[in-house]
Chains A and B, each alone.
Chain A
């Protein structure tokens, strides 16, 4: 079927200007662009991500594992801007195929991401003559009024139902519960993890990167057990990223949704209009 979905030329021009400006800013800041494989054996760690299957392998859900192997190989400041694929995600803010900007830099922790992200968003905003956003910082504990729900079901329901709708101003949300660490370093009962919100959209997710192979393997196995219990195929344990995690320098990284960045800076409400329709 070949639907004649309209192409929004104006949005595509804005998108091009934003991507160009982000690349320029990254290169000026010493980041090297690397090109990860798209078809992979290990699609993700997180149990809530559904990969798209590709001939017995998977399309990557993000370039995270590949970029960590590059980081471990000794390149200290790297980024990719690549299409990524997540199944069962569709709506005005979600597309099965979307573009991620993912970057890593060494000798740094998650709080060092803040000025870098602010700089990139500022460059992107100027490229489309949008006001440069000023971000505030809130911890997850603050947003829940000090009482962070213990169980995931309540946590995510309240997050979606009553907390996220209040994040209309540019915000960095910091310090998620340790059990939502994904691949982040854990400190006490919180994970060194942040999310960035712009225009009410969750734009990206960043970590102080975990560098403990035994702990990473344990998280893979925990995720696999949860998926199996839900009747979902467990994600394969990616030995490449486990090995890389033990050789990586101290580092931080973030993945930013390029489609949503374009939406947030242009006021677009439908992700389909910042993409070329299939």
Chain B
């Protein structure tokens, strides 16, 4: 299976120079009086680094031999994070350096998507939103419902994010895990 530049879309996983990449940006370009190209930004599935690459229109690239499996996070032991397929009970391990910043959102039993390249677990994708408790923050300012004024909060999952000043310790929050983590809303726990 191979893709032409006209098949490119964000999220497409391609094989380039023997390594798997995810297309994170693509742009059709046709210079004046010239032929067409597609400019791309590609994120390495193995290292997470982003490279820029220009393709000639009609050039083909291979499909990356990758597969995603829904799994649950079990536990971390030092730099090794263990995940389990809840149907087959298969377990896989990922190194902290592959997870990068995403590790701070991992909580026991969190449903994630684990990416396999040529049968080997190589990466993981968090759900866009998680629910997690506030374990520490400055006392709430009652009655101030302004979302513009922020303070730090430590979350049960281990992340620290900015929250509005009306948030109290022990409250359950909805948090967006993209872009490093941001407050979405309080969840009514009563």
Which chain A residues have a beta carbon within 8 Å of chain B's beta carbons?
46, 48, 88-94, 152, 155-157, 159-161, 164-165, 176, 180, 182, 195, 202, 205
Residues of B within 8 A of A159 (CB): 31, 34
B:10-57 near A, CB below 8 Å:
27-37, 39, 54, 56
- Nearest chain A CB to B13's CB is how many angstroms away? 21
Task: Say yes or no: A157 contacts B33, CB within 8 Å.
Answer: no
Residues of B within 8 A of A176 (CB): 33
Q: DSSP class of A's interface residues: helix, strand, loop or mixed?
A: mixed
Task: Say yes or no: A48 contacts B30, CB within 8 Å.
Answer: yes
Residues of A within 8 A of B36 (CB): 48, 88-89
Interface size on B, residues (CB 8 A): 14
Interface centre among B29, B31, B33, by most A CB within 10 Å?
B33
Q: A92-B27, A93-B27 are in contact. Are A157 and B56 (CB under 8 A)?
A: yes
A152 to B35, CA, bound (A): 9
- Closest residue of chain B to A156 (Cβ to Cβ) is B34
Choose one: B27, B30, B34, B54; the contact of A152 (CB below 8 Å).
B34
- Closest residue of chain B to A92 (Cβ to Cβ) is B27
Interface centre among A48, A152, A205, by most B CB within 10 Å?
A48
Residues of B within 8 A of A160 (CB): 29, 31, 34, 37, 39, 54
- Closest residue of chain B to A177 (Cβ to Cβ) is B33
A126 to B30, CA, bound (A): 29
Residues of B within 8 A of A195 (CB): 32
Task: Say yes or no: A164 contacts B28, CB within 8 Å.
Answer: no
Task: Say yes or no: A164 contacts B34, CB within 8 Å.
Answer: no
- Closest residue of chain A to B26 (Cβ to Cβ) is A91
Task: Say yes or no: B34 contacts A48, CB within 8 Å.
Answer: yes
Task: Say yes or no: B37 contacts A157, CB within 8 Å.
Answer: yes
- Closest residue of chain B to A88 (Cβ to Cβ) is B36
Task: Say yes or no: B33 contacts A180, CB within 8 Å.
Answer: yes
Task: Say yes or no: B27 contacts A156, CB within 8 Å.
Answer: no
- Nearest chain B CB to A179's CB is how many angstroms away? 10
- Closest residue of chain A to B56 (Cβ to Cβ) is A157
- Nearest chain A CB to B48's CB is how many angstroms away? 23
Residues of B within 8 A of A88 (CB): 36
Residues of A within 8 A of B37 (CB): 156-157, 160-161
Residues of B within 8 A of A164 (CB): 29, 31
- Closest residue of chain B to A162 (Cβ to Cβ) is B54
A161 to B33, CA, bound (A): 16
Residues of A within 8 A of B30 (CB): 48, 89, 94
Task: Say yes or no: B33 contacts A48, CB within 8 Å.
Answer: yes
- Closest residue of chain B to A45 (Cβ to Cβ) is B33
4 smallest CB-CB distances across A and B, nearest first, come from A91-B28, A156-B34, A161-B54, A160-B37
A161 to B34, CA, bound (A): 13
Task: Say yes or no: B28 contacts A202, CB within 8 Å.
Answer: no
Q: A46-B33, A159-B34 are in contact. Are A90 and B54 (CB under 8 A)?
A: no
- Closest residue of chain A to B28 (Cβ to Cβ) is A91
Task: Say yes or no: A94 contacts B28, CB within 8 Å.
Answer: yes
A182 to B31, CA, bound (A): 13
A176 to B32, CA, bound (A): 10
- Contacts A159-B34, A160-B39, A164-B31 aside, 19 further interface pairs with beta carbons under 8 A come to A46-B33, A48-B33, A48-B35, A48-B36, A93-B27, A94-B28, A152-B35, A156-B35, A157-B56, A159-B31, A160-B29, A160-B34, A176-B33, A180-B33, A182-B33, A202-B31, A202-B32, A205-B32, A205-B33
- Closest residue of chain A to B31 (Cβ to Cβ) is A159
- Nearest chain A CB to B85's CB is how many angstroms away? 39
- Nearest chain B CB to A192's CB is how many angstroms away? 14
Task: Say yes or no: A91 contacts B33, CB within 8 Å.
Answer: no
- Closest residue of chain B to A173 (Cβ to Cβ) is B32
- Nearest chain A CB to B33's CB is how many angstroms away? 5
Task: Say yes or no: B28 contacts A156, CB within 8 Å.
Answer: no
- Nearest chain B CB to A173's CB is how many angstroms away? 9
Residues of A within 8 A of B32 (CB): 195, 202, 205
A118 to B56, CA, bound (A): 33
B:147-165 near A, CB below 8 Å:
none
Give 28 A-B contacts (CB < 8 Å), ordered by A residue: A46-B33, A48-B33, A48-B34, A48-B36, A89-B28, A89-B36, A90-B28, A91-B28, A92-B28, A93-B27, A93-B28, A93-B29, A94-B30, A156-B35, A156-B37, A157-B37, A157-B56, A159-B31, A159-B34, A160-B34, A160-B39, A161-B54, A164-B31, A180-B33, A180-B34, A182-B33, A202-B31, A202-B32
